Amino acid sequence: MSANYAVVLAAGQGTRMKSKLYKVLHPVCGKSMVEHVVGQIEKLNLQQIVTVIGYGGNQVKEVLRQRTEFAVQEEQLGTGHAVLQAEPLLGEKQGTTLIICGDTPLFTAETLTELFDYHQQQRAVATILTAIAPDPTGYGRIIRDRQGNVAKIVEQKDTTPAEAAVAEINTGVYCFDNQALFQALHQVTNDNAQHEYYLTDVIEICQKAAQKVAAFTMKDFNESMGVNDRVALSKATALMRQRINEKHMRNGVTLIDPQNTYIDSEVKIGADTVVEPGVVLKGETIIGENCLIGAHSQLSDSLISDNVTITASVLENAQMATGSNIGPYSHLRPQAKIGERVHIGNFVEVKKAEIGADTKVGHLTYVGDATLGRQINVGCGCVFVNYDGINKHHTTVGDYSFIGSASNMVAPLRIADHAYVAAGSTITNDVAAHDMAIARGRQVNKAGYYDRYPVAKAAQQTEQAEKNSK
């Protein structure tokens, strides 16, 4: 079996994107375009992948790291010139080389495998990946002879009326005999209007040398979409999102409104989970089985076990154990770990805190830098006060304790098992087991003081108006 290689063209700046971000690094469903391309190529088990980078290429290196080798195109002199930069790495190799652009995030490993197989079956020196376009305007046309062989590729501006009517287009993806490729590249000239070295000229050079050129037509034209501006980026994202959502639904996930559900490519979801409209699932989020992800929730890089309910809440780098629930309108920030059957109610924020099984944090509470044990009740409006203006400090609350409403726990602090904090307290000292801590001013009732305040006069006026209206 011959060796297979790939060259990813990622040197273009993408001026039409009108962005400071390198073109191939623009994200589609949570990953940059070039990561999508390389990810699919990696499934082909190739011997070597070379990514051709140019201006700003260090950003691409930082994203891809050790997944590919890199060649640098110092000047943007065309696609043929770009591929030629990989010659020091591939030029002496025997085998087949795939050429693909880094701004085509929708290609699948299945299609690329079919291209490789067809290329080898045809014993071709070059094979062009083609597609049937609903509207071929702007694409290079594949012109075949009467036997169905490739006669030439004609760019849009050079087509005759008959050629312009051809729907089969060049996707810009090729398989080449590796050594024939680099030999032909040295024959390519820049004698054209753009003064660039075009990769497509290699096809004509091969044909003139009586070498076989084949063309394989892919099944789905949409895979071939290249992204050159923000409009195309949005279309590619919509197609990728549709592909991702269909995969989850076929795997047993219910998406109530797939068109308004936004799931990144690396997200995993268990069977019988229901995802309501407006949900955004980002990064490497993993969701178990039988969960309910309520409308307009947003989860990023979070781990959700089975039978969890999330209602209109935001989670980032957080974990929720089996049977727990949250929301509405609550926020789990990084390093929040919610235990089994824990209830996190509405308007609760948890940050860098672990909450033990069966504990309840009902509403309007902030839990930061804390460890809460099992079976604790945290009342409404509590604050775990963790920041002194310079450093963060930790609070520990033991099992079966009770934290009364409107209490402040000022860290560093340790509240033992079976302890009680009275409502309205500001706790600054440790609390021992079975003790009740109360830290608030003693109530004093001042007789007749109500009548001294404006509220009394307003009440009198209202009462008089009610009597007059009867």
Q: Around Cβ 78, how many Cβ atoms within 10 Å?
A: 21
pLDDT at 392: 97
Contact 372, 359 (CB under 8 A): yes
pTM, entire model? 0.92
pLDDT at 1: 54
Name the token pair of 362: 């009902």
Encoded tokens for 127: 């094979």
**pLDDT tens track for 347-393:** 999 999 999 999 999 999 999 999 999 999 999 999 999 999 999 99
Which amino acid would we find at residue 277? P
pLDDT digits (tens, 9 = 90+) for 193-223: 778 898 999 999 999 999 999 999 999 999 9
According to the model, what pLDDT value does residue 332 have? 98
Catalytic residue IDs: 363
Q: DSSP assignment, residue 16?
A: G
What's the token pair of residue 351?
């940050």
Predicted local distance difference test score (pLDDT) of residue 318: 98
Identify any residues that bridge with 431 across adjacent strands, giving them in sequence order: 415
Nearest to 173 by CA among 111, 219, 123, 95: 111
CB crowding 328-364: b at 16 or more within 10 Å, else e:
eebbbbeebbbbbbbbbbbbbbbbbbbbbbbbbbbbb
* Concatenated DSSP letters of 57-114: HHHHHHHHGGGSEEEE-SS---HHHHHHTTHHHHTT--SEEEEEETT-TT--HHHHHH
pLDDT value of residue 194: 79
- Which one, of 237, 178, 187, lies nearest residue 208 by Cα? 187
Tell me which residues of the chain have a pLDDT lower than 70. 1, 56
